[in-house]
Structures are given as structure tokens and as C-alpha cells.
Structure 1
Amino acid sequence: MKANTTGIVVVAAGRGERAGASIEGPKQYRRIGGRSVIVHTLERFLAWKDAGPIIVVIHGDDRALFEEARSTLTSDANITTVIGGATRQQSVRAGLQAMKDKNVQHVMIHDAVRPFIDHVTLDRIATMLADGAAAVLPAAPVTDTLKRGNLDGTVAETVSRERLYGAQTPQSFDFQTILDAHERAAAENRDDFTDDAAIAEWAGVPVRIAESSSENVKLTTRQDINMADQTLSGQHRMDGALPDVRTGNGYDVHRLEPGDGVWLCGIFIPHHLKLNGHSDADVALHALTDALLATCGAGDIGDHFPPSDPQWKGAASHIFLKHAAEIVRKNGGTIMNADVSLIAEAPKIGPHRQAMREKLAETLSISLERCSVKATTNEQIGFVGRNEGIAAIATATVIYRNDTP
């Protein structure tokens, strides 16, 4: 097979109700082994020697979720995204249409929530396509005894499992053949197909079976996701490679002076004093910026935004924090937690804590539950106790890929 003639369509536009609601979003964005499901899936294809262009079909509401996941990939140069439709069939068709100008001969259509596809199966499929197969279905032989039930809940009969297979993905095809079949189905208002092999069968295309592994499971329920997380965690232990969890700390303090309010965690709080600093003097975001940079040895805030540089005079400190988060992700890190402790006699932090957490979550592109803001006084001791300044201590937890230096 010629290099880069096999395109990959990864279908990631579903809502996955059976997996239950989660603050992390639909199941393709849930974390297993410290990274989102879709990242594990894409990495399998990115590492495959014969992978050509990759089209990821996402839901219109998931742009930010996908970009956050994408930022943790080892490489994304070969990936483009399109918005899917109301059904899987419509989403696949959108992905195939986006592939038309990619000059591919074959296409593999894969569920984003099948993160355990192996290269042996991909090679087997690719060989069958190169040998002239117009459609190839990876499938695992059915091993369970099958029963057909009555309407009253009793068993009607035992069904022979001989020559029965469980269909998997990537279902793979001659590109023009499957595109034509999808276009014909759309033109005839046929939207009842459960997979792409069924469309090929309907269009009269012979579908060959490529035996696959039972490990190529589709993550459908919350239990599936939990088991996948345990599997990946177990792999780390068996490989002798513990998860690369790093914790960074940051501390900052700014002097108070007469003014109209203070910026803390990206939120402006009216007050009769303000914090003195070259930027907006947001002591909390400065400390958290240092904490993130510490997890990958990237210096401190002054190295990246020196106070001697006039362009940062009065700058909003969320710029600094977002920059630190980008550095972490480019180094292979996934931000797991951000914790800020403010030490101040005034103003009161409690009424603004939720807004502060929401601002941290927005700036770092992580879920709200991973952001913590706390506050305490200094019991009228020292410069904080005398209301001369505000201090902040921040801690950031980041998981890095095991191949990160």
C-alpha cells in the first residue's frame, strides 16, 4: 500500500447518554489513564505507520472540549475537524465529504470511544484493502451463548453462535465506494443504518471480515469507562512506569496602596485600596502561573513577562496564566488541579469565590471541580495583618506523558 493513501475518519459527535452525565463532558472526553478517551484513540492512529490525513467529526458544542484534548496530543499536524450531524450516519457522511480533497484511496471509519484498537488489526485491514477488498469489517467471534427471548421475558430458544461476529471499527473501505454508498443512502432518505458496513451491504458491496481482538471494545457505559481507566492504570504498573505526576508551588505578594479595588483570581473586587504592581498585580494568578511553570522547569513569571518590559504595564494577569498553561500542554502535560490560597485581612473573598473558580476554569480550560480558591487572614500579624499587602500561595498538579523529558 502506498504511504498516506488511507484516510481516517474518527466519529466523535455523539452524546453518549448511557455513560451518564459528567462535568468532563461526553464520554469521548472522559479521562482514562490521565488523558481523555479521544486522545488515546487518536494516538493509536497517529503512531500507525500507514495513517494518512485524519478527520475528526465533532459535535458543534464540543469545540472547546476537543481543542483542550487536542493540545495534549504528541502531534496534531495531520488532523482537521468538521461538525457532525444529528445521527452517526450524517456525521460519517460529513467526515467523508471533508476527505474528498485529501487524495486518499482508502478510508477507515472509527468510533472515538474505541481507544484500544491495535496496529496488528490495522495492518491486517490495510493488507486486505491493498489486495482489492472494497469493504473490510473488523470483528471478533461471538463467544457467549446466545438466547432469543419471548415478550414475557422467558427464553424462546438458544441461537447458534457459529459464524457469528461482533462488529467493530474501524470499518474500512475503498474511499469512493463508501462515499457513493453514503450519498445514495442520503438521496433515498435512508437513515436507519446502524453502521457503515450495513450501508455497504445495502449498496451491494461485498464486505470481508478481518478478525479482530475482543480488547477493541467500545466504551458505552460508565462502568466501561471505569474499567478502561483501571486497565490503563494497570498497564502503567506492569510496564514499570508510574504515572508522571508533578506538583508545582508558587508564592507572590503585592503591596496595598490607596485605590478603588483589587484584582484577585481574575475578578475585580471594589475596595478602598488597590495592589501595586507592573501589571494588574493579581497576586493569585501570579502565584498560580509560577506553580504551573514549575511542573516542567520553565522558570517563573518574571522570565516570560519581565516587569521591565513596558508592554506588560497594566496587563491582565490571565494572559500570564494562559501562557503558562500552553507551555505545560506543549510539554505533554494535562492540568489536573489548581489550588489558590489567599492571605488577606480584606476584602472578603467568600462572596467572590465561585466567580474566581469559574475564571480559573475558563482560563485553564479545565473543569470547575478541578479549581479551588481558599482564603484566610493573618490574624493581624505581620505586613498582611497590618493590611499593608496581600499574599497568595498556589499549587498546581499536572500529569505528564511518560515520554516527556
Structure 2
Amino acid sequence: MSQVVALVVAAGRGSRFGADRPKQYVSLAGRAVLRHAAEALAAHPGIDAVRTVVHPEDGEAYAAATRGLDLLPPVHGGATRQDSVRLGLESLADIDPAKVLIHDGARPFVDAALVDRVLAALDEADGAIPAIAVSDTLKRVEAGRIVETVARDGLWRAQTPQGFVFHAILDAHEQASVDGGYSDDAAIAERAGLPVAIVQGSAENMKVTTQDDLTRAERWLAGGMEIRTGQGFDVHRFAEDREGPVMLCGVSVPHDRALAGHSDADVGLHVLVDAILGALAQGDIGSHFPPSDEQWKGADSAVFVRHVRDLVAGCGARILNVDITLICERPKIGPHRAEMAARIAELLGIDAGRVSVKGTTTEGLGFTGRREGIAAQAIATLQVPRSAA
């Protein structure tokens, strides 16, 4: 049973946004608004699966926006947000998760720390939502004139993802009236008598509703992020006492000998990990997975890649591009490049178009020319919040 599933609600038409497409598919820094949200949730180590609720007419737009992400198949939504969430929850019945996070597809900046707070609160309550205390003076207005000043004490602005015990919120949705006018899932939980906790939200966790919101989001990305680059270099010799195949970039490649190393000696994934760690300024692979530690003997290097993927997500960064060069006479890399790129993209949770794998030789020179081993180098480019830099 999956423990936590994130349900991304993206079936709305976004009429207030005023574009030629629903706001969740509008480009934000070169990627659809929806992709920012889905990618962040899919990369979170505490989330086992992500499903999106989409409009029946948005199949092509959704496929383009989420290409390369490891998501559950989408389901169609209903006429209202309430209908869409209920249909999404019902679609998860066969998965039967313990907890579910319900997130608006138009909130692109959900971060790992916020998700952590919601999940932690669910250990003590049936529901938990992120929110920010209201600090502005509130006015009630009628016909363009102020009629009342509203006390702001105890008022909070609700955000998503809103988290719930799965069966509790599913029952609450199925019992809620269709004309109840519920503005969020917490309201439906309240109506059902479920205790809902508040956790601290995030000022950056904005919802794109208007063109001004999109402009603000673009400015935040431009001002709040910086580009960081890391590089990795590694060498592994061929083992005299180990027959092939050889593991390269997560792919088993036919060869007469395997590489020597404490883990599975996947030199391609090792340089990838070092490059990403370099961009994050978080040491090298040896400091995270010491070769002296017996638990890493013969380990699948995919474990190391998933670790750095989670580090990236945890600090709110994202991987823009990785470029790996494998240097050897044999085995030939060309026939396996596409499979290697696809495997790396899968491990990192990014589009395969952001992964480059190349092979080259040293024209018979040096230890690689003598076919004594394989060298590899990698460069990783990340977009990192300035606060994490």
C-alpha cells in the first residue's frame, strides 16, 4: 500500500486568467505552471505517487506539460473543483493510500519543507493545511464603499497542499452536498467534523490566478534563484576477477569484464552524483557514502542518485541539465546512449531532454586506450534558491 499520494487538481478553465489556454498550462520560466507543481511533489521523498485531475479536453496539453515525469495516469475532473477532487479521490481507492495531499495545479512553488510540515501534522490530526496569518487590515465593501472593518485576529489565508487521512477525506467528500459552496477541502473536512490542523505556509507558495500573478511569479523566479554548476570526474579500472557485464549510467552493458569498485562501480552515475553535489556545494560522493562503510559494498548506484535528487528537492532547487561523457575504447557507448539518458532521467525525475550522455575514446592513448578502465566526467546545471546558495 502506498503511504502518501499527492492529488494535483488541474481541471479548471481559469476564466479569470484571460489567456488562450487554462492557466495551469501557461509557460512559467519555460515550463508549464502545472509542471512546476507536479515535478516538486514527484521529487519529494515522502510522497509515493502523484496523480493529476485534468479536464477531458486537456489530454495533449497535459502530456506535453508532464513529459518525462513519473506520475500515475491522470483522471478526468468534473464541473466544479469539488467534483474534481471527489473523482480524484475515488480513483485512488484501488491504491488505498494512508494519506493524501490535495494540491492546486496553479500553485507552482510548493516546497519540500512545507510538504514536510503538512505530513508531520497528519500524525496528530485527520487533516492539516498550510496557511499564513492575515497581517493586513481587512475591509468589507459593498457597491465600492467600505461598510465594515473586519477584525483580523485569528484569520489565516489557506494554501495547498492540504493533507488528510485518505478514507476520512474521501468519506467527507462523498457525503458533502454538491451545492455546498465549499471553497477548499478543509471546508469539507470541517463540515464532516474532522479535526484540521494549521501549519505555517509559505509566502512563495502563491496561486497563479491572474496575469499579474504570473508576472509576479516570473519576477520571483528571476530574483530568488541563481544558476549553479557542478562537475564530476571519476575513474574505475576493469577488474581482473569479475566478468561482465559492466554497469554504466544505470544500464547493464555487455562486456567481458566488470569495473572494480566498492559499490557496483557505475562510473557514469558516480560522476553524475559528484556533479550535482558540487552544484549544491555539499561535498562529494565519498562524504555521503564512504567506501569504508560495508553497507555500500556492491550497492546499486541508483541509491546514490536518488539521494542527491532528494537533496535537490529538499532545498527547493531543480536540475536544468546534466551532461555526462564516458571515455573508453570498449564497450561502445553509442548503442546504449538513449537507454542511459532515459534511466538517468527516471532516477532524477526530470525530462529526458535535459540529459546528455556521450561516449568518446582517447585514440588508443593512456590507460583507457589500453582498455584498462573507464574514465567519466559530468557537468550538472541547477537552479538554486539564493537562500540555499
What range is the shorter-chain TM-score in? 0.5 to 0.7
Q: Deviation per CA, 1:108-135: give whole Å up to 9, x if none.
A: 100001111111111111111123x101
Counterpart in 1 of 2:352?
Answer: 330
Aligned pairs, number: 248
TM-superposed CA distance for 1:144, in Å, is 1.2
Question: Conserved in 1, the CA contact under 8 Å of 2:138 and 2:149?
Answer: yes
Selected match of 1:180 from 171, 182, 186: 171
1:48 and 1:154 map into 2 onto residues whose CA distance is 46
SS in 1 for 2:58: helix
SS in 2 for 1:130: coil
Question: Conserved in 2, the CA contact under 8 Å of 1:9 and 1:95?
Answer: yes
2:142 and 2:224 map into 1 onto residues whose CA distance is 42
> If you compute each CA radius of gyration, which structure gives the higher value, 1 or 2?
1
Structure 1 runs, 4 residues or longer, greater than 6 Å off: none
Instruction: Determine whether 1:230 maps to 2:219.
Output: yes
Instruction: Determine whether 1:103 maps to 2:103.
Output: no
- Residues 47-58 of structure 1 mapped to structure 2, 5 A cutoff: 47-58=43-54
TM-superposed CA distance for 1:230, in Å, is 2.5
Counterpart in 2 of 1:196?
Answer: 185
SS in 2 for 1:183: helix
Structure 1 stretches lacking a partner, 5+ long: 242-295, 298-302, 305-327, 334-400
Selected match of 2:10 from 9, 12, 21: 12
Instruction: Determine whether 1:214 maps to 2:236.
Output: no
RMSD: 3.0
SS in 1 for 2:147: strand
Question: Conserved in 2, the CA contact under 8 Å of 1:125 and 1:210?
Answer: yes
Instruction: Determine whether 1:130 maps to 2:123.
Output: yes
TM-score (norm 2): 0.59
Q: Sequence identity of aligned pairs in percent?
A: 42
TM-superposed CA distance for 1:34, in Å, is 1.0
Question: Conserved in 2, the CA contact under 8 Å of 1:53 and 1:102?
Answer: no
Q: Deviation per CA, 1:67-104: give whole Å up to 9, x if none.
A: 0111154xx1x422000001000000111011111131
Question: Cα gap change, 1:20/1:72 in structure 2, threshold over 3 Å: closer, same or farther?
Answer: farther
Structure 2 stretches lacking a partner, 5+ long: 230-322, 325-333, 336-349, 356-379, 384-389
Question: Conserved in 1, the CA contact under 8 Å of 2:121 and 2:128?
Answer: yes
Selected match of 2:149 from 141, 158, 162: 158
Query: What letter corresponds to residue 135 of structure 2 in structure 1?
Result: T
SS in 2 for 1:100: coil
2:163 and 2:2 map into 1 onto residues whose CA distance is 15
2:28 and 2:222 map into 1 onto residues whose CA distance is 8
Question: Cα gap change, 1:191/1:90 in structure 2, threshold over 3 Å: closer, same or farther?
Answer: farther
TM-superposed CA distance for 1:194, in Å, is 1.1
Query: What letter corresponds to residue 5 of structure 2 in structure 1?
Result: G
TM-score (norm 1): 0.56
1:193 and 1:70 map into 2 onto residues whose CA distance is 29
2:4 and 2:204 map into 1 onto residues whose CA distance is 23
Q: Deviation per CA, 1:192-222: give whole Å up to 9, x if none.
A: 2111111111111122111211211110001
SS in 2 for 1:125: helix
1:86 and 1:402 map into 2 onto residues whose CA distance is 41
- Residues 19-168 of structure 1 mapped to structure 2, 5 A cutoff: 19-22=17-20, 25-73=21-69, 76=70, 78-131=71-124, 133-151=125-143, 153-168=144-159
